Structure 1
C-alpha cells in the first residue's frame, strides 16, 4: 500500500491506496490562512505539521499504515518557507496567493532580462522568487537568517526525513528553475541574493528522497519507508487522474482554478501569463492557465455573504434554476488575478444587481464568473498552439454537477468527471510513490485514467447566451480595472 499526502491551502488530506491504486482509507484536517495586511496571505508552517500529525495519529488507530511501502507528497505551490541554520522556521510562509511583491517582479525581470526564456514564465507576485526579494528589501534581518528556502510540502519532507529535497514540478514554480534543463539557475538565484546552498536537492517526482525517521515510524506504526519526491498540487492532481501523455488536459476547480495540458517539450506563452512548468515525470512538461480564486469564491459567498451551507445552496440552485439571460455578473478576482491579466490589484465585483436579484441569482453569477475566468485562461493557453485533446475536471468544486455542466456550456467543450477527482493531488502523490517502488510497472499501469462518473456535453441552445455574457464580463474587467484600489501596494 502507498500513502499520498496533499498539503493544500484550506486543509491537508492523506490517503492510503492498495496495490491496484484504489483508495482504502483517508483522513483530513482543516487549515486557515492569515491575511495581516492587504495583499498578504500567510500560514504558519508549524500548523501544517500539527495538522499532518493529527491526521496521521488518526490513521494510525486503523489498520492500514503498517502495510504502507512508501510515502508520496504533494502540496500548494510557490510558498516561501524559510529556515535558519538550526532548521527553525524564521517567519510565516508567504503563500501562492500573496500579492505584495509586484515591484520586485519588475525588478527581477530588469535584472535578468531573459528570465522568461529561462523559466518559461512571467514574474508574478505569487511565485517564490519575488517574495524573497521582497524579504530582502523589507525584512532584512529575517532575510539574513535564511539558510534554506523550501516549498510547503518540502518542509513536511524535511520533518519526515531530515532531508532537504524538492521535485521538478514544484521547483518550476519558484522561478529559480531552468525549466527546460530541469536545474536551478544561479543567475536568477543571485538576483534574489541567494545561491545553490540555499536550495534543496532536485529530484524527479518518482524518485526517492529519503526515509521516514525512526521516531515517527514508531509513533505511527509504519516501517522506515521511503519518502518519494512527489509533485506540486496541480501536477500531482494530473497524475492522479492519469494525465501523463501529451495532449491530455484537466480543469481543476479547487481553491484556485487551473487549466492544465501535458506536453512532451518545453514551450512558453509568458506574455499572456500562461505558466510553463515541468511535469511530475521525466521528459514531460505542462502548460497551465491559473486563476487565483475559483472554488474559494463559492466558499466566500456561502460563508461570508449568505452564511449558509455550500451543499444546501447548490442543491437550492439545482432545484430552482435562474434566468441565465438576466442574472448579474461576477468578477472572481478576490485575490487579484494571474492568467491572463497578471494583476494583483484586481478585485471581485458584482455587476447588474437590481431589486429583483435573488440569492440564487448571485450564486449562479459566482459560479458563472469563475467559468468565464476559466474561458479567459483557456483562450490564453491555446494561443501557445497547445490544446487539450480531452479534458478531465477535478477538485472540490467539481463535486457540483451544476457547476460542471455550466463549465462545459461556457467553454463549449466536453468535460469528464472521474472517480477520485476530489482527491486528485493526494492520489497522484501515492501513484508517484508506487512508481518509485515498483519500477517494473509502466506509467500507464500505475496511472490509468479513473472510471468516468459523468461526461458533460455543451448545450448548444445556450451557446449564444454565454458568448454574449462572456463579452460583457470581459468588458467589466477592462472598464473597472482603473477603479481597483491602487493604494494598497
Structure 2
C-alpha cells in the first residue's frame, strides 16, 4: 500500500507524519528545537539543527514502522514562514537563519514601505519586520560582507528540500511571505528584489505546492531504506499547509490557528489584496487559489507565558479558570505586554480573553478587506481547550468547529501535497475536512457582555500603540 510522508519544520519542533492510502496516521515523530536570542529582538536557529531533527524523525520511523517508510511514494514539506536561510556558493549557510519572529529589521521594513509604496499591492501586504525582504535589507546595512557572499536565499523548509533532493526550489505559498513574490502573477517581482539589492538568481525556483520539486537523493533513500523514486512535492508554508490538512481549499473556507502564534485564515478564489487593512493576501498551496490572513505573533504562547510566570501546569490552570469563570474578566490583557502579578485564575482568564480580543481585531480587519466570516474551524494546540474555544465563539460571535485529529497540523497537509504530487488526483478528492468533533455556538449573553470589553481592549491598545513603536525604535 502506498504511503506518504509529511515533514513540518516548525519553530519549536520538527514534526513528521506517515500516512497510508486511506490517510490514516501510521506513525508520528516530534523532535524539539531551540531558539537562539543572541541580542535583543533577535531570533535565530541553525539550519543544520532542522536537518538533524529531520534525520532523527526518520530514524524513529525506521524503528516504529520501517515497512511503511520503505513504501513511501511522496514527501511533502511544510515550515515556518518568512525565515532567511542565507547560502554561499557551495549551498552552505553563511550564518544562523533569521526567523519570522525576529524584530531587528523594524527600520528597514518602514523604509521599504515608505520608498516603495506601490509594491505592497503586488506583494499582498505592507512590509513588516518578520518578512524575509526587510531581513536582507538589514543584512546589507549591518553585515555587508555576509550580504555580498549570499548566493541563494531559502526559506526554512526549503533547506530540508535541499538536503533531501539537492534542488533549490520553493512553493508559491511560502514564497508569498517573503515580500518578493508578485501574488497575482505567482512569480518573483523584479522590482521588489531590486529594492533589497537582489535579483532572480538569488531566488529558488518556483513550483506549486502539489507539483514535483525533485526526487530523493540516492544516498538518502539508501540510508533510511526508502524507494529510489520517491518524489518531493513543492509543499507549503505552515499556514497554507494547515489549510490543506483541514480541507480549507474552497472559496470562503475559514479557520483559526491557535498555536505559538495565531492566524485567522480565509481561502479565496481570487487575489484580493488589502494592504491598507494590514491583511495578508497570499498565494495558496494549490494552483488558482489564494488566501487572506490576519496574523498575530502571540497565540497560545501567551498562555504558556502566564503558566510559567505563575509556575503552574497549563492544564491545571485552565481547569481552575474554567471552574471560576462567570463573565468577562475585569482585567484586560494585551498580548503585546508582559503583564503583572494578580490572582491566578484572574490572570489566566484575562490572557485567554486577550488573545481572543486580538482575533476580534483580525476579524474586523478581514471585514474591512471585504471578507466576512459566518463560521470558522479551529486548529492548533489551543484548539484542544473546549473552554478557550467557547470564549472565542462568543468574542467573535460566530460558531466555531473543533475537529477530530486537528492537532495533526501542517505536517498532515504536507503529506497530502506529497500524495497529490505523485497521483495527480483532484485536490477536492484528497483535501477533505476532518470529522467535526463539535460545533460551539456563541452564547448570546456573553456576546453582549464581551462587546464593551472588546472596545476597552481596542481603546487601550490605541493609547499604548505610540509607546510600542517608541520602544521598538529604542531597542534597535
Q: TM-score, normalised by structure 1?
A: 0.93
Following superposition, the deviation at residue 317 of structure 1 comes to 2.4
1:199 matched to 2:203? The reply is yes
1:237 matched to 2:242? The reply is yes
Query: Using a 3 Å threshold, how does the CA distance of structure 1 residues 113 and 143 change in structure 2: closer, same or farther?
Result: same
1:297 corresponds, among 297, 302, 326, to 302
Per-residue CA distance 1:13-36 (angstroms, 9 max, x = gap): 100111121212101011122222
CA distance in 1, matches of 2:199, 2:374: 40
2:412 corresponds, among 420, 427, 433, to 427
1:475 corresponds, among 452, 459, 465, to 459
For the Cα contact (< 8 Å) 1:253–1:294, is it kept in 2? yes
Following superposition, the deviation at residue 323 of structure 1 comes to 4.2
Following superposition, the deviation at residue 222 of structure 1 comes to 1.1
| Partner residue in 2 for 1:339 | none
Moved >6 Å (runs of 4+) = none
1:311 corresponds, among 292, 308, 315, to 315
Q: TM-score, normalised by structure 2?
A: 0.96
Per-residue CA distance 1:173-225 (angstroms, 9 max, x = gap): 00100000000011111111111111000000000111111222122121131
1:176 matched to 2:176? The reply is no
Following superposition, the deviation at residue 348 of structure 1 comes to 4.1
For the Cα contact (< 8 Å) 1:327–1:362, is it kept in 2? no
1:487 matched to 2:474? The reply is yes
1:364 matched to 2:342? The reply is no
For the Cα contact (< 8 Å) 2:277–2:369, is it kept in 1? no
| Partner residue in 2 for 1:283 | 288
1:416 matched to 2:401? The reply is yes
Per-residue CA distance 1:438-467 (angstroms, 9 max, x = gap): 12x322210111000111100111112111
Flag the structure with higher helix content: 2
Q: Aligned with 1:160: secondary structure?
A: helix
1:460 matched to 2:444? The reply is yes
Following superposition, the deviation at residue 478 of structure 1 comes to 1.5
Q: Aligned with 2:475: secondary structure?
A: coil
CA distance in 1, matches of 2:372, 2:326: 32
For the Cα contact (< 8 Å) 1:4–1:426, is it kept in 2? yes
Q: Which runs of 5+ in 2 are unaligned?
A: none
For the Cα contact (< 8 Å) 2:5–2:18, is it kept in 1? yes
CA distance in 2, matches of 1:111, 1:445: 45
2:261 corresponds, among 219, 239, 256, to 256
Q: Aligned with 2:64: secondary structure?
A: coil
CA distance in 2, matches of 1:286, 1:483: 32
Q: Please report the RMSD computed on the Cα atoms of aligned residues, expressed in angstroms.
A: 1.4
CA distance in 2, matches of 1:83, 1:420: 37
CA distance in 2, matches of 1:37, 1:97: 13
Q: Which runs of 5+ in 1 are unaligned?
A: 334-346
- Aligned runs of 1:79-158 on 2, under 5 Å? 79-158=83-162
